Amino acid sequence: MIKSYDVQIIGGGLAGCEAAWQLAQRGMRVKLSEMRGSGDMTPAHQTDGLAELVCSNSFRSDDAENNAVGLLHQEMRDLGSLIMQAAEVAKVPAGSALAVDRDVFSETVTKHLENNPNIEIVRERVDSIPAGRPVIIATGPLTATNLAESIMAKTGEDRLAFFDAIAPIVYHDSIDMDIAWYASRWDKGEGKDYINCPMDEAQYRAFHQGLLDSEKSEFKEWETNTPYFEGCMPIEVMASRGLDTLRFGPMKPVGLDNPRTGRWAHAVVQLRQDNKQGTLWNMVGFQTKMKHGAQVELLRTIPGLEKAEFARLGGLHRNTFIRSPILLDRQLRLKSSPHIRFAGQITGCEGYVESSAVGLMAGIMTAAEISGRTVTPPPPTTALGALLGHITGDALADDYQPMNINFGLFAPLDEKVHKKSRKAAMTGRARTDLNNWISAQKVAA
């Protein structure tokens, strides 16, 4: 047991775990406080494992040359990210995306932190912000009520919130592969990364109407006016935006040749492998707030899923975040109380990788500060710097909403580049600038 700590981290999700790892690797003593395992649980988690993945099992694209989140993956790897190390151990087939077996992933993160002599994991609920030492609050979107009230009192700002919906998971052996088939869009990947269930126009129209008519979860009074995050929209909400909205979104048939017809279907439901054994497959883009009975009834109308058995049905939980652009400085410190840093989704970033990346930066910055140094923020030309800039001042505070990393957040290119070469030019610049930044930090240390 560690008798004294340099920093306390509240929250054992991806951001908190990454921050703890970065601090410990730099010789700092860390107390990691996690509510789950102490008798408390959130509405969305199912285990007390550290870094449990609640929604999808995908870290999205792993293409570091043409995709912003893929670039963020690589930048985190360059900085010794624990989350990226664990993702590699738990990796499952997903085409050009990085997806993981959630249990293996959580177990890997937990094992690394438990075995680090500079980290003590304490299963406890923290009801107020501690004083007297550096603190990183990484409690995520499901921050417990008492701590949330303590944060509100400290920041002087009301919380903002949005809903996050969870997609169903199907047992593989209940999928009818005489109807469905394996393929990635445009035949990318290994060929068996996705299972595709085709719909003709009549089936699609009936399914669309079923979504509109389905029985949904009722909101509590305080949830009624909470907006959704556009990147995790419940499928029935997408359906309400128009008949073809789904066909241009998660049910897009483009690039998926049905081997039985040689043609594209009118619409396609895709399932992605969710565990290493390939026994569980999640329904891509099928986040939902339908009641469980309605889900089973409607989802079994999808061709190939008539006899589907579900390991998990969809659900809905509320996410909470602070107004980071006006509350935090470029070091992720609360301007009114600089010993407090925030990391992860509570800052208003969105996505597993983005949350982990903010935890990584919070850990590096806190370690430097304890050592009597100040880390210059990563350049805005990098994925890390672009993400940091967005949540600490570049976004408009009045309209601040959760955001995934994207090239629109990066500093623009100095020279004119053809549209087809723009992404490659931005990632190439980012790789160079991050390497220079890393070298500069080593010299300063």
Q: Annotation-wise, does 11 bind a ligand?
A: yes
Residues in Cβ contact with 7 at an 8 Å cutoff, skipping those fewer than 6 apart: 23, 28, 29, 30, 31, 133, 134, 135, 136, 366, 370
Nearest-angstrom CA–CA distance, 401 and 365: 24
How many helices (H) and strands (E) in the chain? Answer: 12, 17
| Per-residue CA distances from 355 to 32, 122, 138, 304, 321 (Å) | 17, 21, 9, 35, 12
Q: Annotation-wise, does 14 bind a ligand?
A: yes
Cα Rg of the chain, angstroms: 22
Phi/psi for 416 (5° steps) reads -75, 130
Encoded tokens for 109: 């993160």
| HSE-CB for 188 with a 13 A CA cutoff | 9
Tell me if residue 59 falls in helix, strand or coil: strand
Residues in Cβ contact with 33 at an 8 Å cutoff, skipping those fewer than 6 apart: 8, 9, 10, 11, 12, 122, 124, 126
Q: Are the CB atoms for 170 and 283 separated by under 8 Å?
A: yes
Encoded tokens for 234: 């419940």
CA 111 to centroid of chain Cα atoms: 21
Encoded tokens for 273: 């492998």
Q: Annotation-wise, does 12 bind a ligand?
A: yes
Cβ atoms < 10 Å from Cβ of 1: 4
Residue 26 DSSP one-character state? T
Tokens 């085409």, residue located? 95
Sheet containing 119-123: order of strands: 119-123, 30-34, 7-10, 135-137, 337-342, 333-334
Residues in Cβ contact with 66 at an 8 Å cutoff, skipping those fewer than 6 apart: 423, 424, 427
Nearest-angstrom CA–CA distance, 100 and 108: 11
SS3 content of the chain, % helix, strand, coil (to 5): 40, 20, 45
Encoded tokens for 163: 């809903």
Q: Are the CB atoms for 50 and 106 separated by under 8 Å?
A: yes
Inter-helix orientation angle 352-370/14-25, to 10°: 30
Q: Annotation-wise, does 15 bind a ligand?
A: yes
Known binding-site residues for FAD equal 11-16
Known binding-site residues equal 11-16
